[in-house]
C-alpha cells in the first residue's frame, strides 16, 4: 500500500506545517484507515461473488425440481399404475414448492442486506467525515499552540538564562541517553558475535550449564573429579570469566541506558513545562478538542464494527447456516434423492421418447452446473472468510494503536511504506502480533512533553515530545575473552 500519495488528514498537515517532515500519529491512523477500507472493499467484492453463486445454485436446484416434476407428469399413466405413483408426484410437487420458496426467500434477503449495507456504509462515511472535522479543529489548535511556543522560545533564548540552563541540561541528557543506547546496542552485537565460539564448544557448554566454578555447581565426588580434569585441560576458568562478562555486560548497559532515557525524558519534560508556563496559556490546547476527537474515533470504530456485523450475517445467509434455509435445502434434497425419483430418471433414460430425453438432458445439465457452482461457491466462501478475518485483524490493530496512544506520537518512518509492509507481513502470517508491535515501537518517538531546544544542536527533540536515540557505533568497543 502506498500512503505517500494520499490526502493525509490531521497529523499529516501538522507535519507539513512544522516543516520537519515527521511522520505523525495522524498519518499513521490515516494509513491504517485506508488499508482497512481497502480490506473491507475486497471482502465485500468476494462476498458479492459468493452471493451471486449462491443465487445461481438455488436457481439450479429449482430447475432440477421443475424438470423432475415435468418428467413425472409426462409419465403420469405409468406412475399411476405403480403403488407409490401418487407419493412420487406429491414429493416432487413439494420439492418444487420448496425450491421456489428458497429462491424467493434468498432474493428478498439479499435485497434487504443490500439496503442495510448501503445504510452502514453511509454511516461509516459520515463518521469518517465527522472524525476528520474534529481532527482538523484539533490540528488548528495544536498548530496555534506550537507557534506560541516557538515565539516563547525565541524570547526566552534572547533574555532568559534559566531557560538556557534547562535547554542545555536537556540537550546533554539526550546526548548521554543516545550514547548509552549505542553502547548497549554494541554490547548486544558483541555478545552475539563473540559468544558463538564459546557456545559452539561442547566441553565449555557442558561445564557452563552445570555451573562449574560457581556456587551453583553440584556434583558427586567422581563427577567433580572428572569435571575438574576437563576444566583444566580445556582452560575453562579463564574462558568462564570472559564469557560471564560477555553475557552480563549487555544487561547492565541496557539497564543503564533505560535510566538515561528516563533522565532525558524528565529533562525534556522540565524544559517543556518551563516553556508552557512562560507562554502563559497561549500554548495550551483545549482538552475538549481532544475528547471530541476521541469520541469521533469511537464512532468510526463503531461504524466499522456495525458494517462488519452485517457482512457476517450476509455471509451466513449465503452459506445457508440459518435454520430455515437448512430445513428447506434438506427437504428439497431428500425429495430429489428419493428412490422412486431415481427410478423415474432411469426409466426415462431407457425409453425412446424424445420428450423424456430432452427433460433428462436438461436435468443432467442443471445437476452438472450446480456441482460446478457449488465447488466455486466453496472456494469463494473460503476467500470471503479469510477476507473478513483480515478486516477483523485490522480493526483490532487500529483499536490497539489508539489504546497505545499512537495517534498522539510522532514516528521516524519518513512515509507510510514501511508501515504498509509491516501490516502486509502481519496479515499473511509472516510476522507475529508481538513482532509487529516491536517493529513499530522501534520507530516511535513517544509523547513526553519535550520541546525543540531552540536550534542549538546536540539532542534531537520531537515537537510533541521525546528525543531520538539509537544508531550504531562504528568500530571501537570492548573486548572479552578469546575463543575457547
**How large is the C-alpha radius of gyration of the chain?**
36
DSSP letter, residue 322: S
Highest mean pLDDT among 11-25, 88-102, 449-463: 88-102
So what's the pLDDT on residue 460?
A: 36
Q: Is 96 helix (H, G, I), strand (E, B) or coil?
A: helix
The whole-angstrom separation of Cα 42 and Cα 83 is 56
In which band, very low, low, confident or very high, does the pLDDT at 333 lie, cut at 50, 70 and 90? low
Contacts of 468 (CB under 8 A, 6+ apart): 178, 412, 445, 460, 462
In which band, very low, low, confident or very high, does the pLDDT at 165 lie, cut at 50, 70 and 90? very high
pLDDT tens-digit readout, 43-88: 888 888 888 888 888 788 777 777 766 766 665 555 444 445 555 5
**Measured CA angle at 28 (ends 25, 30), to 5 deg:** 110
- As a whole number, mean pLDDT of residues 373-395 equals 88
The whole-angstrom separation of Cα 382 and Cα 377 is 9
Q: Is 87 helix (H, G, I), strand (E, B) or coil?
A: helix
* Burial class of 72 by CB neighbour count within 10 A (0 to 12, 13 to 18, 19+): buried
Give yes or no for residue 106 having a pLDDT over 80. no
Q: Which of 238-247, 285-294, 351-360 has the lowest mean pLDDT?
A: 351-360
User: What percentage of the chain carries pLDDT values higher than 90?
Assistant: 13
- Domain ranges across the chain: 11-445
So what's the pLDDT on residue 256?
A: 94
Higher pLDDT, 463 or 140: 140
Q: Which of 29-33, 239-243, 289-293, 324-328 has the lowest mean pLDDT?
A: 324-328
The whole-angstrom separation of Cα 430 and Cα 421 is 11
Name the nearest CA neighbour of 271 among 405, 145, 156, 181.
156
In which band, very low, low, confident or very high, does the pLDDT at 173 lie, cut at 50, 70 and 90? very high
So what's the pLDDT on residue 345?
A: 58
Q: Is 25 helix (H, G, I), strand (E, B) or coil?
A: helix
Instruction: Give whole-number Cα distances, 371 to 292, 316, 336, 374, 410, in Å.
Output: 54, 20, 15, 5, 55
pLDDT tens-digit readout, 121-133: 899 889 989 988 9
Tally of CB atoms within 10 A around 223? 11
Q: Which of 15-24, 277-286, 463-472 has the lowest mean pLDDT?
A: 463-472
The dihedral region occupied by 483, where left means phi > 0, alpha psi between -120 and 50, and beta the remainder, is beta
Give yes or no for residue 138 having a pLDDT over 70. yes
Helix (H), strand (E) at residue 444: strand 444-445
Q: Which of 2-11, 58-67, 252-261, 339-348 has the lowest mean pLDDT?
A: 2-11
Higher pLDDT, 345 or 279: 279
So what's the pLDDT on residue 74?
A: 62
Highest mean pLDDT among 72-76, 167-171, 229-233, 428-432: 167-171
Q: What's the grid cell of residue 269?
A: 519534560
Q: Where are the beta strands (DSSP E) in 254-324?
A: none
Name the nearest CA neighbour of 54 among 129, 106, 6.
106
CA 127 to chain centroid, in Å, comes to 21
Amino acid at each position: 500500500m502506498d500512503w505517500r500519495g494520499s490526502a493525509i488528514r490531521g497529523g499529516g498537515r501538522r507535519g507539513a506545517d512544522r516543516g520537519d517532515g515527521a511522520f505523525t500519529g495522524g498519518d499513521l491512523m490515516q494509513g491504517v484507515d485506508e488499508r482497512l477500507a481497502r480490506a473491507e472493499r475486497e471482502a465485500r467484492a468476494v462476498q458479492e461473488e459468493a452471493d451471486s453463486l449462491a443465487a445461481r445454485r438455488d436457481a439450479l436446484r429449482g430447475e432440477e425440481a421443475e424438470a423432475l416434476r415435468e418428467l413425472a407428469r409426462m409419465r403420469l399413466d405409468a406412475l399411476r399404475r405403480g403403488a407409490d405413483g401418487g407419493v412420487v408426484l406429491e414429493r416432487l410437487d413439494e420439492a418444487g414448492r420448496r425450491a421456489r420458496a428458497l429462491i424467493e426467500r434468498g432474493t428478498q434477503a439479499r435485497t434487504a442486506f443490500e439496503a442495510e449495507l448501503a445504510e452502514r456504509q453511509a454511516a461509516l462515511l459520515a463518521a469518517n467525515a465527522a472524525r476528520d472535522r474534529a481532527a482538523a479543529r484539533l490540528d488548528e489548535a495544536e498548530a496555534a499552540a506550537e507557534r506560541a511556543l516557538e515565539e516563547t522560545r525565541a524570547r526566552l533564548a534572547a533574555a532568559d538564562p534559566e531557560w538556557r540552563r534547562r535547554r542545555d541540561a536537556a540537550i546533554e541528557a539526550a546526548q548521554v541517553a543516545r550514547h548509552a543506547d549505542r553502547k548497549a546496542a554494541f554490547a548486544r552485537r558483541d555478545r552475539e558475535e563473540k559468544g558463538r565460539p564459546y557456545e559452539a564448544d561442547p566441553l565449555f557448554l557442558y561445564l557452563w550449564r552445570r555451573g562449574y566454578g560457581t556456587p551453583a555447581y553440584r556434583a558427586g565426588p567422581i563427577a567433580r573429579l572428572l569435571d575438574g580434569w576437563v576444566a583444566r585441560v580445556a582452560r575453562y576458568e579463564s574462558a568462564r570469566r570472559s564469557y560471564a562478562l560477555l553475557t552480563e555486560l549487555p544487561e547492565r548497559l541496557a539497564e543503564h541506558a533505560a535510566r538515561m532515557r528516563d533522565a532525558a525524558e524528565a529533562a525534556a519534560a522540565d524544559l517543556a513545562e518551563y516553556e508552557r508556563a512562560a507562554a502563559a496559556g497561549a500554548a495550551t490546547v483545549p482538552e475538549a478538542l481532544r475528547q471530541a476527537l476521541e469520541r469521533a474515533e469511537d464512532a468510526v470504530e463503531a461504524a466499522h464494527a456495525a458494517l462488519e456485523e452485517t457482512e457476517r450475517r450476509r455471509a451466513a445467509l449465503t452459506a445457508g447456516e440459518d435454520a430455515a434455509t437448512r430445513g428447506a435445502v434438506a427437504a428439497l434434497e431428500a425429495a430429489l434423492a428419493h428412490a422412486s425419483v431415481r427410478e423415474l430418471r432411469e426409466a426415462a433414460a431407457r425409453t425412446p421418447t424424445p420428450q423424456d430425453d430432452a427433460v433428462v438432458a436438461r436435468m443432467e445439465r442443471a445437476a452438472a452446473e450446480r456441482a460446478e457452482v457449488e465447488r466455486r461457491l466453496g472456494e469463494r466462501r473460503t476467500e470471503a472468510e479469510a477476507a473478513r478475518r483480515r478486516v477483523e485483524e485490522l480493526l483490532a490493530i487500529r483499536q490497539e494503536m489508539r489504546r497505545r496512544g499512537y495517534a498522539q506520537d510522532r514516528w521516524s518512518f519518513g512515509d507510510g511504506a514501511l508501515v504498509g509492509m509491516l501490516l502486509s507481513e502481519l496479515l499473511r502470517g509472516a510476522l507475529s502480533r508481538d513482532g509487529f508491535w516491536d517493529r513499530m515501537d522501534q520507530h516511535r518517538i513517544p509523547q513526553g512533553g519535550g520541546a525543540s531546544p531552540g536550534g542549538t544542536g546536540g539532542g534531537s527533540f520531537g515537537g510533541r515530545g521525546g528525543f531520538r536515540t539509537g544508531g550504531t557505533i562504528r568500530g571501537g568497543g570492548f573486548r572479552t575473552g578469546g575463543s575457547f
